[in-house]
Structures are given as C-alpha cells and as structure tokens.
Amino acid sequence: RKEVEQDPGPFNVPEGATVAFNCTYSNSASQSFFWYRQDCRKEPKLLMSVYSSGNEDGRFTAQLNRASQYISLLIRDSKLSDSATYLCVVNMGNAGGTSYGKLTFGQGTILTVHP
Amino acid sequence: DAGVIQSPRHEVTEMGQEVTLRCKPISGHDYLFWYRQTMMRGLELLIYFNNNVPIDDSGMPEDRFSAKMPNASFSTLKIQPSEPRDSAVYFCASSLTAGSSEAFFGQGTRLTVV
C-alpha cells in the first residue's frame, strides 16, 4: 500500500462546478497534512494546510478524518485558473520522532476546468 | 527573499557521466529536501537534512546517488554514473521547521540522460 494515495483522476469539470478530491494515508502517527498545487512544468506550491477541525480558505475547504486516515479538498465555483495538479501531502512523523520532518506526497490529481 | 535556488535548470548528459545538481535553500530554514518527480512515480523524497545533517536517506535509489550539505546555504545531489532511467525533474525544497511549516520548492532541474 502506498503511504499516501489519491483519487487517480483526471477530473474535467465546467466552470462553476464543485469538485472534491480525496486522499488516504497509511501512517496513523502522521503529524500534519497539506494540499499543494502544481501547475504544468512548475514547482509545487502550498495551497493550504489541513487542520483537525477542518478549514476553509475562500472557495477551498479542507477536511481531515484521523480515525479513517482520510483527507479531502473541496473546490467550489471552479475557475479556469484552478486547472492544475493537486497534491495531498502528509508529514509522516512516527512515534519515535525519527522521521518527523519527512513530507510524503501523493501521486496527484489532475484537474481541468473548461469554459 | 529569492526563494530556493536550484542550478542548473536543465541538464542533458550522456549515460555514464557524473551529474551534480545544486541547491541554495532559503536563509534560516533548518530543513532541506531533495525530491525526484516522474510521470510514473510522482514526487519521491530522496533524502532530507536537518541543520545540515542527513536524517533520512531511505529514498535514495542506489549507491549511484549521493547528497551532501556542507553548510546551511548549500546542498548538492550527485549521480555517478548516470543512467537513462535517472531522467526526471529533481526538486530541492526547504522549510523553517519540521511538522507544520510550509515547504518551499525551487524551480527544479530537468535532467535528461541519453
């Protein structure tokens, strides 16, 4: 089983649509969680952190379910500029703390928003 | 701040040659990461450093790969000898602390081994 698994996608949606991405992680000792965005032929950039209580940033909402080891990202009112690859990222800390800084990325989900 | 700086941006080399990729992290960041990205495998963590000390190199594919961080402002990833299957985009990233802080990526080095 991969350490971080995402919906394979790709997702093709019209402008204005709502789209949701899911992600699961294998290490129950994981400490922190993020969504990154990567545009074509560019480097990944932080989109938002994911907090236990869930958090929202404009049209973007992130949820975390520690019991199920599941993370989600919801994008409302999709824009053409949202077209990118969305990467689920987990800090794979362990109980001993020996790999606390290790950020592990999912494979990514490609989103294309069309007019 | 100039961000994480990687060089070269593009590298084309022949199989068997030595390749050295370079990275300058953001000043003050304690963590430095080397990732490799391919279509097939996505982003893979190769190695990461904390305060210039390698912490986890379990992602380094084989002995042909080595990484160093001689000081807080410079790191190298070396491949010797290079093989066509090493062709990928190599990213360097740095972060202020472990855990909850954002990792900032350089623009990557696109390596092609022919």
Cα gap B14→B18, rounded to integer Å? 9
Q: How far is B61 from chain A (nearest CA, A)?
A: 16
- pLDDT for residue B101 is more than 60: yes
Cα gap B32→B73, rounded to integer Å? 10
Q: Is B13 exposed, middle or buried (0-12, 13-18, 19+ CB in 10 A)?
A: middle
Query: A87 and B43: CB-CB below 8 Å?
Result: yes
- Contact with chain A for residue B6, Cβ under 8 A: no
| DSSP three-state, residue A81 | helix
Cβ B78 vs Cβ B67: under 8 Å:
yes
Residue in A57, A103, A105, A110 to test binding to B, most B beta-carbons within 10 Å? A103
| pLDDT at residue number A98 | 53
Candidates A90, A81, A100, A82; CA nearest to A20 is A82
Residue in A93, A100, A104 closest to B45 by CB: A104
- Contact with chain A for residue B12, Cβ under 8 A: no
Query: A105 and B55: CB-CB below 8 Å?
Result: no
Lowest mean pLDDT among A27-31, A68-72, B24-28, B86-90: A27-31
pLDDT in tens, A15-24: 999 999 999 9
Segments of chain A scoring below 70 in pLDDT: 93-100
pLDDT in tens, B30-79: 999 999 999 888 999 999 999 999 988 989 988 999 999 999 999 999 99
Cα gap A62→B79, rounded to integer Å? 39
Mean of per-residue pLDDT scores for chain B: 93
Quote the DSSP letter at residue A26: S
